[in-house]
Amino acid sequence: MKKQKLPRPLAQLLFSLLTCLTLLSTQTEARHTSLHPFIKGSYNSVQIELNKTPFLMVLWSIDCPPCHKELNMLGKLTKERPEINLVLVSTDDISLADDIGKTLKKHGLGGIESWAFADPNVARLRYEIDPRWYGTLPRSYFFDSAHQRSATTGTLEKEQVEDWLKQQE
């Protein structure tokens, strides 16, 4: 039996269509995570946006195994307690938006406000967040309604977050 080839114009059209569909699905993934570029001034923008609102800011990375454990817990907790004001900041470069989005979606956090470092001067971003923080992950900040914060380094436990939520009631 002789193998038939597709006519060249049809093959090119199919290839172009497949490429477009792949690009669209990638862009849709990034949009679902509502990933914002975290640049100089973003830290203050988050606080202004959440004026007088308690929130939890979690810094994480796709290359940090304890971060994945924490994200998994947070994904489950946000389903149980949707009132949590959670802000996620990936310390990975925003050029990894697709991987960041897939990670968030995997942990059930695709709809949570999320940011990714988008400044080549990472030390400046870390300093803006906390002059005493040198990049150890995971790192979390609990903000009360007056935006007084307390920092935690290491994997958050569900009980820590629930205790904080009770204090905010």
Q: Which pLDDT value is given to residue 130?
A: 98
Domains and CATH numbers, the chain: 33-168 (3.40.30.10)
Q: Where are the beta strands (DSSP E) in the chain?
A: 35-38, 55-60, 86-93, 113-117, 139-143, 149-153
Q: What is the pLDDT of residue 105?
A: 97
pLDDT digits (tens, 9 = 90+) for 7-17: 665 545 444 44
Nearest Cα to 162, choosing from 105, 83, 51?
Answer: 83
Rounded distance between C-alpha atoms, residue 65 and residue 92, angstroms? 14
Determine contact, residues 105/26, Cβ cutoff 8 Å. Answer: no
Tokens describing residue 122: 């990472």
Residue 34: band (very low, low, confident or very high) from pLDDT cuts 50, 70, 90: confident
* Distance separating alpha carbons of residues 42 and 97, to the nearest angstrom: 17
Higher-confidence residue: 38 or 30?
38
**pLDDT tens sequence across 125-148:** 999 999 999 999 999 999 999 999
pTM of the predicted protein model: 0.81
Task: Look up residue 83 and give its DSSP letter.
Answer: T
